[in-house]
Amino acid sequence: MTDTQVVTQVVTPFATPVDTRPPLPGRPTAAHRPGPGADRRPQPLGSPWPASARVRADGEVLISGVGLEEAADRFGTPLYVLDEAEVRARARAYRAALPHAEILYAAKAFLCSAMADWVAEEGLGLDVCSAGELRLATAAGFPPHRILLHGNAKSPEELRLARRLRVDRIVIDGLAEIPRLAALAIANVPQRVLIRVLPGVAAGHHSAVRTGVDGQKFGFGIAGGDAAEAISRTLAQSSLRLVGLHCHLGSQITDVEPYLAALDRLVELLAEVRDRHGVELPELDLGGGHGVRYLSQDRELDLVEFAAAVSERLATRCVERGLTVPRLTVEPGRAIAAPAGVALYRVLSVKHTAGGRTFVAVDGGMSDNPRPALYGSAYEVRLVGRSSAAPTAVVDVVGRHCEAGDVLVHDAALPADLRPGDLLALPAAGAYQLSMASGYNLVGRPAVVAVRDGRARLLIRRETVEDFRAREVGR
């Protein structure tokens, strides 16, 4: 592979970082990756691409043996390609690292019927935060007794649905939910619930996703007594069974320390509950937010380190307070889905401005990936489907929407001979893109394709103008 084929968001060269991630099944280690020119076989791309990603000498990229150019020609663009084996391997890695914990896949990252099947078959539960996610999961056959429902503003209808479907646990996030849920429950069949608390720990890549601190819409603060009040009111309801505490610190967290700080405060609260009410709660849910690589040089949360440190700290703090160690629950979403996805776009135009900027416009953008506009999120981008010996040019990869902020990748290094019709691929695209997609400019949401063992199958069809029109009932 020539230097001009390597497409990153960084203009200046940088050394390839040492891959310190815990090994996943099927992921080649650095010691087993052939060097440049070792042979003409397809070469591994490495993180942030799926483990199965290979690049051929002609520039074509294969995911699980399926060529991305081939997939784009067959299914059209924009297109999201999801590597089933990567999803399954990451789910299994969580089970292996935390064998005594409960692992719930966070459906908000990305959910479709196939994803529900994969995580269920790999032994994971599911956490959902809306009636839509709950209905889709159960319609796909996901067992309700392995589902947890949370959300800061659950409607009465959602609570009734959860009770009717016999969802295992519901996370209480506001005082009004306590009597509302108690009225729906039956005394001799109590609803199992957790209380979402704010441990006062700030963590996450952006202020909009730091959800473990006081002063925001989620949960009950420990400081000031809000959590204690919610616990007291819940324990007073005979039709509710309080089984534990829940927290979620934020998203894209790459360091284990915030989780350890949260554990310290949660165990203190567990001890206070025992001392005040004579009850030891048997469950502790630390939420998710585990960070992944979006750029080759990014850090990600080390799963093995996280599992060891959290398990040890929880046991130590419980011994110190004379508590039975509660069952731990974690809720990875991005860490399972994001690295499995690749987004594909066709170049529509290449515009060179008098100011020296070059804009490469593609057939998608903020309607299928709002993360760069919302959070300033960074991505790598690569030309696929052909090789190029042209020198590298610095460009902005922009979307097709009527917003100046519709930029997918700033300052990308792409071949200078880039032209309309070329195919671009963005890795780490499996989470919080399609799940946050919109119908802006009435541009339909892309199709989703699963790949496995050299075969591709359509999971979600492309949204069309007819879909938008079908929602209109009058004029």
Residues 327 and 349 in one domain: no
Structure tokens at 344: 């594909």
Residues 219 and 281 in one domain: yes
User: Is 17 inside any structural domain?
Assistant: yes
Helix (H, G, I), strand (E, B) or coil at 183: helix
Query: Which residue range forms the structural domain that includes residue 55?
Result: 3-83+338-467
User: Is 117 inside any structural domain?
Assistant: no
Q: Which residues, other chains included, contact 308 with Cβ-Cβ below 8 Å and sequence gap of 6+?
A: none
Please say whether the beta carbons of 294 and 380 come within 8 A.
yes
R_g over Cα of the chain: 24
Domain's final residue, options 278, 312, 332: 332
Which element (helix H / strand E) includes 71? Answer: helix 68-75
User: Is 306 inside any structural domain?
Assistant: yes
Q: Which residues, other chains included, contact 438 with Cβ-Cβ below 8 Å and sequence gap of 6+?
A: 366, 367, 370
Structure tokens at 61: 């990229």
Residues 196 and 274 in one domain: yes
Residues 261 and 306 in one domain: yes
Residues 303 and 363 in one domain: no
Q: Give the separation between CA 329 and CA 311, rounded to whole angstroms.
A: 11
Structure tokens at 229: 């009040």
CATH code at 367?
2.40.37.10
What's residue 440's pLDDT? Answer: 95
Instruction: Print pLDDT tens along the chain (475 aa).
Output: 333 333 333 322 223 333 333 444 333 333 334 444 445 789 999 999 999 999 999 999 999 999 999 999 999 999 999 999 999 999 999 999 999 999 999 999 999 999 999 999 999 999 999 999 999 999 999 999 999 999 999 999 999 999 999 999 999 999 999 999 999 977 678 999 999 999 988 655 545 444 445 667 789 999 889 999 999 999 999 999 999 999 999 889 999 999 999 999 999 999 999 999 999 999 999 999 999 999 999 999 999 999 999 999 999 999 999 999 999 999 999 999 999 999 999 999 999 998 889 999 999 999 999 999 999 999 999 999 999 999 999 999 999 999 999 999 999 999 999 999 999 999 999 999 999 999 999 999 999 999 999 999 999 999 999 999 999 999 8
Q: Which amino acid is at 393?
A: A
What's residue 223's pLDDT? Answer: 86
Residues 161 and 267 in one domain: yes
Q: Give the separation between CA 244 and CA 380, rounded to whole angstroms.
A: 40
CATH code at 310?
3.20.20.10
The yes-or-no answer on residue 112 being catalytic is no
User: Is 18 inside any structural domain?
Assistant: yes
Residues 304 and 343 in one domain: no
Residues 307 and 351 in one domain: no
Residues 392 and 317 in one domain: no
What's residue 186's pLDDT? Answer: 75
Total domain count, the chain: 2
Q: Which residue has the tokens 């690569």?
A: 382
What's residue 214's pLDDT? Answer: 66
What's residue 444's pLDDT? Answer: 95
What's residue 187's pLDDT? Answer: 66
Residues 299 and 354 in one domain: no
Of 426, 410, 436, the closest CA to residue 208 belongs to: 436
Domain's final residue, options 308, 332, 356: 332
Catalytic residue among 112, 247, 318, 402: 402
Q: List residues bridging with 192 in a β-sheet.
A: 169, 241
User: Is 134 inside any structural domain?
Assistant: no
Residues 186 and 73 in one domain: no
Q: Give the separation between CA 150 and CA 214, rounded to whole angstroms.
A: 18
Structure tokens at 160: 């009734």
Residues 202 and 313 in one domain: yes
Q: List residues bridging with 43 in a β-sheet.
A: 55
Q: Which residues, other chains included, contact 115 with Cβ-Cβ below 8 Å and sequence gap of 6+?
A: 82, 87, 105, 337
